Amino acid sequence: MTEAALRNPVLEAIYSRRSVRHFTDEPVAPELIEEIIRAGTWAPSGLNNQPWRFAVVTGRELKARFEPLTKYRKVIEMAPVLIPVFVDKKAMYNEVKDHQAMGACIQNMLLAAHSLGLGAVWLGEILKSADQVRQLLSLPENLELMAVIALGHPAHRNQSSTRKGLAEVIVFKDY
Amino acid sequence: MTEAALRNPVLEAIYSRRSVRHFTDEPVAPELIEEIIRAGTWAPSGLNNQPWRFAVVTGRELKARFEPLTKYRKVIEMAPVLIPVFVDKKAMYNEVKDHQAMGACIQNMLLAAHSLGLGAVWLGEILKSADQVRQLLSLPENLELMAVIALGHPAHRNQSSTRKGLAEVIVFKDY
């Protein structure tokens, strides 16, 4: 982390956020769940079309029905909250740009969760079961699953991660 | 903004960030440009494949060659820095998930810029000229333009925006 980041809580959050896959039993207050979703909605989207839609699943029985739909069943089992995130196909205008907007939305949610002392992980592998997730929630076909966010109070924060250095990812500069 | 957000600088940044399209003449320090790119790289990506690549354009003559490639030529003209953001097709593993990761990366960059007192706008319309942008920078075909971020010191911050309320975007909840 650079000097600038040390004094900047937004950069600090961006650099210290990690995927959290182990949670305590403590439930998450509905106000916090809604704050995280609100943060998602403040992502930018092309033409401000806001194509994102959200489900919130906290009930043990319903949550258990998600477990066979992914190889990350243990994360689902342990997380007190699942937020399946959908794109509304009726609101889309450009596939690439709308999928980017969904990513921006999800990143806002992950940063919001982290800033509120919660932990979260972005589950993508479960997209192989996108239709089943939609059907579990009795949602219409115009809603396409984009990710499931598993959320809770972190059991620990010892997840580490690495990134390529800037020299590897900056492919052109003229300064 | 909720009570929680007022006391939380990450939420505050997420809610107060706006697209900035008018910039002062002041150049942006290279350290800040690199901090913004570094923030982008700390987005999550599927399998941690980090498919993002970045170009930095600050020279007046080169920047002018971007102007005919978009209807937002005035933004390009005014912005002291352009950051064309590419996906490396050789690093991709899943089109939808990689495009989402690119969106998460770009959102980190926009939040980082905002947190550093800079202004930025995510330009997507210029994707119609993706190949020309790539060729202007003499970059190989495996790099596909995903967005151009125009960056600078904001001339003002009176841009407003709106979002749907939570009741419109939460399509299922069981709490």
Q: CB neighbours of A5 closer than 8 A, spacing ≥ 6?
A: A11, A12, A15, B35
- Which stretch of DSSP H or E encloses residue B9? helix B9-16
User: Chain centroid to CA A148: how far?
Assistant: 7
- According to DSSP, residue A131 is labeled H
Six token digits for residue A116: 């509120």
Kindly give the pairing relationship between strand A170-173 and strand A81-88. Answer: unpaired
**Are A137 and B172 an interchain contact pair (Cβ–Cβ within 8 Å)?**
yes
Q: How many CB pairs under 8 A join A and B?
A: 220
ipTM for the whole complex? 0.97
**Are A107 and B112 an interchain contact pair (Cβ–Cβ within 8 Å)?**
no
On whether the pTM is more than 0.95, the answer is yes
* pLDDT for res B157: 87
Query: Is residue A4 scored above 80 in pLDDT?
Result: no
At A17-72, the pLDDT tens digits run 999 999 999 999 999 999 999 999 999 999 999 999 999 999 999 999 999 999 99
At A98-142, the pLDDT tens digits run 999 999 999 999 999 999 999 999 999 999 999 999 999 999 999
| Beta partners for residue A54, in sequence order | A85, B170
Residue numbers of chain B with a pLDDT score lower than 70:
1-5
**Are A174 and B86 an interchain contact pair (Cβ–Cβ within 8 Å)?**
no
Distance CA A15, CA A13 (A): 5
Contact A52, A87 (CB under 8 A): yes
State which residue of chain B sits closest to A108, comparing Cα positions. B14
**Are B103 and A108 an interchain contact pair (Cβ–Cβ within 8 Å)?**
no
